[in-house]
Amino acid sequence: MGWKATWVLAVGFILFWNSGFIGAEYTLPYADPFTVLFWRYLGLTLLLGGFLMIRRRLRWPGMGAVLISFIIGILSHGVWLGCVFFSLQLGVPAGIVALVVALQPMATGALSGSVTGEPTPWYRWVGLLIGFAGVAVAVLARTDLERADSVLAYALPFVSALAITIASLIDRKRELEVTTERVPIDISLFYQSLGTVLVVALPALFLENLSTRWTPVFIGVMLWLILAVSLVAYSLMWVLVARVDATRVASLFYLGPPVTMIMAWIAFGDRVLVTDLIGLLIVAAGVLLTQSGVKTTRRS
């Protein structure tokens, strides 16, 4: 496949991945956040488990590897998506949630030196600060600082970004440890999903009673979140990593906010404010600075 195929894969990844924010908002009228996460990751766990069993690849990689997968899954799926769902439920526009979460690749790049032992270039720190400033412009313009619920709603996406950044750093550390057995991606994702189900099961059951309105819309959106977002988008990401490199694939996440804003405008009529656009431009400047010193090599 040539560069045209790579572009098709990249566009597909962007659309599938960012549709998750829209799908999340669609499910909330039919179930509360913990319950939505429970059904989504229960379905994903059963699907991955069945696939691995059919392929005779389902195995126990060891307590240490499973615990790490559980921690990564709880942070990068449970906490990350949990905060996203609650912020959407509290009225934060999907595009703003995507804008805040877009800080994660920059934060991971700036903090990765603590894992690799290599010094972090100055431009990564400055780029992260500029990106944070851009997010602050968009978020503060919408936040009513006199209302605790408004402050909480707009603070939750920052917790999402923090959780997935920590998960990324843990995963990076695991990759660098030569004594650690490499767990295949699909097996690791299975245990990540299983860990998420186990954690959200209690609040979904005891706080939300697993209350769900099983309408065709909810079932359809849930299938989309499981198949298109959790499987197709995730698979496209790894195909792209194999074709180009992780840095260029990570840069695709920065396209999430404008794409999500357009999707949310089409799906829900969400308004895009001038401050949103200013924030996007400032974040883009931070991204350009962060990426300016990165050398990438195209894979054949």
**Is the predicted pLDDT of residue 297 greater than 60, yes or no?**
no
**What do you get for the CA distance between the two ends of the chain, in Å?**
10
Q: What is the mean pLDDT of residues 12-22?
A: 92
Q: What phi, psi does 212 have (nearest 5°)?
A: -145, 135
Q: What is the pLDDT of residue 133?
A: 94
- The confidence score (pLDDT) of residue 300 equals 43
pTM of the model: 0.88
Residue 293, pLDDT score:
59
CA distances, 20 to each of 12, 41, 195, 199, 226 (Å): 13, 14, 20, 21, 10
Does residue 187 have a pLDDT over 50?
Answer: yes
> Is the pLDDT score of 299 beyond 60?
no
Of 43-47, 121-125, 176-180, 296-300, the one with minimum mean pLDDT is 296-300
Query: 36-54: b or e for each residue (b if 16 or more CB lie within 10 Å)?
Result: bbbbbbbbbbebbeeebee
pLDDT at 289: 82
Residue type, 235: S
φ/ψ of 31, rounded to 5, equals: -160, 155
pLDDT in tens, 64-111: 899 999 999 999 899 999 999 999 999 999 999 999 998 888 888 788
Closest C-alpha among 120, 94, 95, 118 to residue 106: 120
β-pair partners for 212: 31
More confident residue, 292 or 30: 30
Q: Please report which confidence band the pLDDT of residue 212 belongs to, taking 50, 70 and 90 as the band edges.
A: very high
225-273 per-position pLDDT tens digit: 999 998 998 888 877 866 766 566 677 788 889 999 999 999 999 999 9
The pLDDT, as a whole number, for residue 295 is: 52
The per-residue pLDDT for 3 is 66
Q: Over 90: is that where the pLDDT of 49 sits? A: yes
pLDDT greater at residue 54 or residue 7: 54
Most confident of 131-135, 204-208, 246-250: 204-208
